[in-house]
Structure 1
């Protein structure tokens, strides 16, 4: 693991180099994962932006893609295609899923807006209790994060900051915010028992 990352000065990392980096990343080598990220961050963001047509959502999807790549690196099968193709397929799938989710949400909102409310106050009680319990569970899991992880999550997911704005507000480098956000989301996922 003491091998140096491929140099960016000589151009793009070759397919073999990306495969080696991903293999090392699958063993927990953060430096190797950073090499994969540096090589593919632009193409991943570009793929998401072309599908979503929204800069902020494309950033979110790109972040989700790299969290998935980090978690699923060991499942990569070189026989099925190159690392670049694998990662860009994940990016495209995530972006399309986001578009479909947004459309489904808009359709639901439209249907609800046309329909008369049929819910009685008695029907609202179990839903309110369930919502309150879920909020408390999330609050408890947020409390288990480090201060910087919690603030990064709060600013980006609750206050609507971009990662760059969160880094400026927290007075830390953007890479620190990205790392803490990734780690925080993984810890939240594990605490909440969310399926991958």
Structure 2
């Protein structure tokens, strides 16, 4: 399939005239036989309309360009499924565009919901058995003395987690350190606190 340029959005005047006076339905029939030149004509005829539909649903221009390209790929791959008696090529393209756009929005929302649920789980889940033991023994003077014995990264990580309620991921972002490193330092720091504070297992 001939590569096409990125979408620049709908052009003034709305729908373009059908290519060379041919009916788009006839051109689509040629596309269904693998005619790449025919597909170029279809692309030029419907791409602006497709983009316009997508951007109204998705809102984000960059994502809309991606979705619009996916729609055009669908038109190429599914050309043999097109049935003129069920509607015009433009209507068919518009239907695919709207479905793709809605799918992208739903997918983005589902991803946001998963991230939010994960953050809630992170906050609700205790770090481990050691952290629970330490948390029950937070006498201020003893804690300050024991915290001073930690490394700088351990002390910062534990402080952010316990006194500011951040998750592992949020601590890693705040300290600009890899998540696995934060998890390791956090656990080592909690073990040192446990030993320093005399918490027994």
Q: Provide the residue aligned with 2:32 in structure 1.
A: 26
Q: Which runs of 5+ in 2 are unaligned?
A: 1-15, 129-201
Which structure 1 residue ranges, 4+ long, deviate > 2 Å from structure 2?
116-120
The TM-score with structure 2 as length reference comes to 0.51
CA pair 118-29 structure 1, distance change in 2 beyond 3 A: farther
Q: Note the C-alpha offset of 1:118.
A: 8.5
1:39 aligns with 2:84: no
Q: Provide the residue aligned with 1:102 in structure 2.
A: 108
The TM-score with structure 1 as length reference comes to 0.53
Alignment of 1:45-60 (within 5 A): 45-60=51-66
Q: Note the C-alpha offset of 1:17.
A: 1.2
Q: Deviations over 1:17-72 (max 9, x none)?
A: 11011100110100000000000010000000000111111100011001111000
Q: Note the C-alpha offset of 1:79.
A: 1.1
1:13 aligns with 2:18: yes
Q: Which runs of 5+ in 1 are unaligned?
A: 1-10, 121-196
Q: Partners in 1 of 2:100 and 2:39 — Cα distance?
A: 20
Q: Partners in 1 of 2:47 and 2:31 — Cα distance?
A: 15
Q: Partners in 1 of 2:79 and 2:118 — Cα distance?
A: 41
